[in-house]
Amino acid sequence: MAKPAKKLVIVTEKILLKKIAKIIEECGSTGYTVMETGGKGSRNVRSSGQPNVSDTQANIKFEVLTSDRDTAEKIADQVAVQFFIDFAGIIYICDAEVLYGHSFCGPEGC
């Protein structure tokens, strides 16, 4: 049976990867997916494939599935407070349904 979940998406700079992963774990989420991405935002085009020798332009996209909105908002608030004044980033949330995932617990428990 599909379990309702919230999908929190954080698109930001790659150098924040470890710090954001730490926040996500501290907020009680047990897993997340990270992708390398690129695109355009208010701070110019980033990592759109120009050659570079360091990672400063690279972007990542976190996807975290949480069982409730509170956890997702806690993660989002902490990330925004700590980083989004000085780093590029955007956070959005969507509804999701987990179809298969052995260890994912929905709002009604596992």
Partner 1 sequence: MDFLSLFLMDFVKQLQSPTLSFLIGGMVIAALGSQLQIPESICKIIVFMLLTKIGLTGGIAIRNSNLTEMILPALFSVVLGVLIVFIARYTLAKLPKVKTVDAIATGGLFGAVSGSTMAAALTLLEEQKIPYEAWTGALYPFMDIPALVTAIVIANIYLNKKQRKAAAAAAHAPIQESFSKQPVAALAYSSDASGTVGDYPDQSDYPSSRQEYRSQQTPGDSRVKIWPIVQESLQGPALSAMLLGLALGLIAQPESVYKSFYDPLFRGLLSILMLVMGMEAWSRIGELRKVAQWYVVYSVVAPLVHGFIAFGLGMIAHYATGFSMGGVVVLAVIAASSSDISGPPTLRAGIPSANPSAYIGASTAIGTPIAIGVAIPLFLGLAQAIGG
Place of tokens 């179809």: 99
Q: Which tokens go with 43? A: 């701070």
Strand partners, 41: 44
Confirm or reject binding of residue 40 to partner 1 (CB under 8 A). no
Q: Which stretch binds partner 1 (CB under 8 A): 3-11, 62-70, 79-87, 92-100?
A: 79-87
Q: Is the Cβ–Cβ distance between 11 and 110 less than 8 Å? A: no
Confirm or reject binding of residue 55 to partner 1 (CB under 8 A). yes
Q: Is the Cβ–Cβ distance between 45 and 51 less than 8 Å? A: no
Confirm or reject binding of residue 15 to partner 1 (CB under 8 A). yes
Confirm or reject binding of residue 22 to partner 1 (CB under 8 A). no
Q: Using the minimum distance from each CB to partner 1, give the nearer residue, 38 or 106.
A: 38
Confirm or reject binding of residue 56 to partner 1 (CB under 8 A). yes
Binding partner 1 by CB under 8 A: which of 44, 100, 109, 110?
44
Confirm or reject binding of residue 81 to partner 1 (CB under 8 A). yes
How is 22-68 classified by DSSP, letter by letter?
HHHHHTT----EEEEE-EEETTEEESSS---SSGGG-EEEEEEEESS
Interface with partner 1 (CB under 8 A)? 13, 15, 42-44, 49-56, 77, 80-81, 83-87
